[in-house]
Every structure is written in C-alpha cells, then in structure tokens.
Amino acid sequence: MKTRRVFLQRASLSAMALTVPVLNPFSVMADQISEYAKDSKTLRVAIMGLGSYGTRVAEAIQSCQRTKLVGVISGTPSKVVAWREKYGIPEKNCYNYENFDAIKDNPDIDAVYVITPNALHKDQVIRVAKAGKHAICEKPMAVNAADGQAMVEACKAAGVHLLIGYRMHFEPNTLEVIRMRKAGEFGDIRFFQGLSGFTIGDPTQWRLDPKLSGGGAMMDIGIYSINGARYMIGEEPIWVTAQEVKTNPEKFKEGIDETITFQLGFPSGVIASCLSTYNMNNLDRFYLNGSKGWAEMQPSTGYGPIKGETNKGPLTEPIVTHQTVQMDEMAAIIFDGKKPEVPVDGEEGVKDMKIIDAIFKAVETGEKVLLNLS
C-alpha cells in the first residue's frame, strides 16, 4: 500500500460553494471561496517529492483559487519530465535534491511543499528556509521534537512561514464538532478515543525503514489520533502511558512499531485512549464523550468523505477535497495573516513530536511520562 489512506474521495470546490451554510463560521464559506477568486495574491508552490501523496496534492491544487503549482523538486528525472508535461511547469522551475538551493534566485516560487520521507524533512526544510522560501512540510514534520524545533527556529531566522500539512484542521465536519464542543453542546468533556490503523503492504517501502521513517505506524497513522485528541478535547495533554505489541518482528524490525496503544491525560481530568497500528484494517474512528452529548466520526481522518454523527444527529457539512481547501487556506495564512481555527504552524507540529517522543519513551520504560508542551 503506497497511499497513506484507504479512504479516497474527490469532490470539487464548486460543489462545496453551493452547499456550504453561510452562517457557520467554522465551515469553508461560499463567500470565502469567492474572496479567494478575486484575490490577486496567488501562492506559487513547488512540490518536493513526486510520489503518491505529492501527486494527490498536485491534483488538488488544480482546483485551488489562490494556489498554483509552478515547480517540482525530485531525484527522479523521468518524474520531472512527466510532471512538466502534465502540469505545464517551466523547465527553469525544475530542480533535483542536490541543486534546489538555487530556488533562492527564482522569483516565480513562493513556497516549497516538502513531501519526502520523514527523516529528510529537517534538512530539506532548513534549506528551503535559507533560500528565502516559505516551507510547507508534510506530517510528521520530523523524526523527533528536537529536529522539529530546529526547523521552526530556522524558518523564524529566515523570516519565512513553516506550515505543517494538517489537512484535517480545515475539514468542515471536523470543524463543526470543534464548534459544538466550544459552544458547550457536549457539556464537560470526559473521554476521547482515537483508532488509527491499516494493514501495510510492501515490506520494502521507506515507511518500514527506520532510517527514513523514524518509526512505524505511530509516525504515519498514529499521529492522527494524537493530533485529533488535542483538537477534539481542546486541551494539551500532561502525561502519557503506552504499550507496544509486535506480532511480526521480521516485517516490523527494530525501530519500526507495529501496534501501540497509548493513553493521554489532560489537565481537566479527561482521558484519551488511542491505538496506532500497521496490522489492522478499518481503523479510522474518533469518539468524543461529554456530560451532555457525544460525537463519533468514522472515517475521521481519511481522504474523504469524513462521516459522523453527534447526539443531535448526523454531521452534514459539505464534502471537500481536503488538500484543495488546505492549500488555499495556507495561502490566506501566508499572505493575509489569517489565523486558522486549529493551528498548522511549526509549533503545532513540534507539540505532536513531543508527544510521539514521550510515547516511545513510555513504551521503552513502562512508566508514565510527563509532558510539557508549552
């Protein structure tokens, strides 16, 4: 399995514009879309890493109102040629991993979206920043919190944005649940459950190479439950416990986690119970329980459509192409200073990396690990 998820859906922004309720400030608004269309400031992006997810992002950008694909960075010349022909990319905007520092002299590129194996993110993002370009980095942003923090500091020093590819932070049904929780419609939050997993295929892929991935299922899919627990509950965890199960050590070698269950504790007393695995299918579920109500989302983080219900009925926000909305929202963040409902900046990414570091430590020691995400 080379795609990141098994739930695939494409829908056009035009359909979204017709169905978005204009009174809901947490949804992607029809008038917001028209605002994108009339805004003259377009985010010109080069994609680094032309694999399956890079292709998905490129296709989604074709429906964007404020983002345009203008360049590519790849170590595979044949892919560069194919993308040039398909997307009309000028030859002068095409680079490889050795020479892409030259983007500093290319005024046609505003930002680079880094979609390469996890262990490469740190050095590549820092090089993008030193070239004076905004960096968008796929999650997980790095292989540990220290590397993530170095990326944040490099981008700050260069005066450029660092944004993480948290597409769910712009997904309408997700934002509706967050709105309901903030409005007190669920009462006092008591419990969250996050289940994230699928059965991974090709044993030779980079995700099962610890030198490239920095870990197994936790880095790839478990991060959704970590991040989801934070935005669904609306607090930052203060401790973590975790347990690992490995049934196939030949496939899941040292440094590659197969299945980890983990628990997060929050200041208010809320507990999150989560599972991350590369050995079970049909695991893409969030459940939030409060004193007055509940929300369940399944699928909760797949490519779409995101489905769910609450104690008040089904979630009916518009179906969108996540990456299309994400990229236009990121253009608004970079050019307009827009503040998203849930952050997507580098600091947000570092918080998730601190939790992952703590989960691995809890697995190793068998002890509760305290967290400080401030």
At 59, which CATH number? 3.40.50.720
Of the candidates 139, 231, 287, 354, the residue annotated as catalytic is 139
φ, ψ dihedrals at 257, nearest 5°: -80, 135
Cβ-contact 45, 67 below 8 angstroms? yes
- Determine whether 166 is an active site residue: no
Residues 26 and 128 grouped into a single domain = yes
Residues 174 and 278 grouped into a single domain = yes
**Per the domain annotation, does 335 fall within a domain?**
no
User: Domain span at residue 357?
Assistant: 168-318+345-370
Question: Cis (ω within 30 of 0) for the bond into 77?
Answer: no
Residues 249 and 155 grouped into a single domain = no
CATH of the domain at 253: 3.30.360.10
Cβ-contact 235, 255 below 8 angstroms? no
Last residue of a domain, one of 167, 195, 222: 167
Q: Is 373 exposed, middle or buried (0-12, 13-18, 19+ CB in 10 A)?
A: middle
Residues 69 and 199 grouped into a single domain = no
**Per the domain annotation, does 338 fall within a domain?**
no
Residues 136 and 60 grouped into a single domain = yes
- The number of folded domains in the chain is 2
Last residue of a domain, one of 167, 199, 218: 167
Of the candidates 53, 224, 231, 303, the residue annotated as catalytic is 224
Residues 257 and 119 grouped into a single domain = no
pLDDT in tens, the chain (374 residues): 444 333 333 333 333 333 333 344 444 444 444 444 444 699 999 999 999 999 999 999 999 999 999 999 999 999 999 999 999 999 999 999 999 999 999 999 999 999 999 999 999 999 999 999 999 999 999 999 999 999 999 999 999 999 999 999 999 999 999 999 999 999 999 999 999 999 999 999 999 999 999 999 999 999 999 999 999 999 999 999 999 999 999 999 999 999 999 999 999 999 999 999 999 999 999 999 999 999 999 999 999 899 999 999 999 999 999 999 999 999 999 999 999 999 999 999 999 999 999 999 999 999 999 999 98
Residues 210 and 174 grouped into a single domain = yes
Q: What is the pTM of this model?
A: 0.90
**Per the domain annotation, does 100 fall within a domain?**
yes
Question: Cα separation of 44 and 55, whole Å?
Answer: 16
Residues 140 and 289 grouped into a single domain = no
Residue matched to tokens 């009916």: 316
Residues 202 and 151 grouped into a single domain = no
- Determine whether 292 is an active site residue: no
Last residue of a domain, one of 121, 149, 167: 167
Residues 163 and 272 grouped into a single domain = no
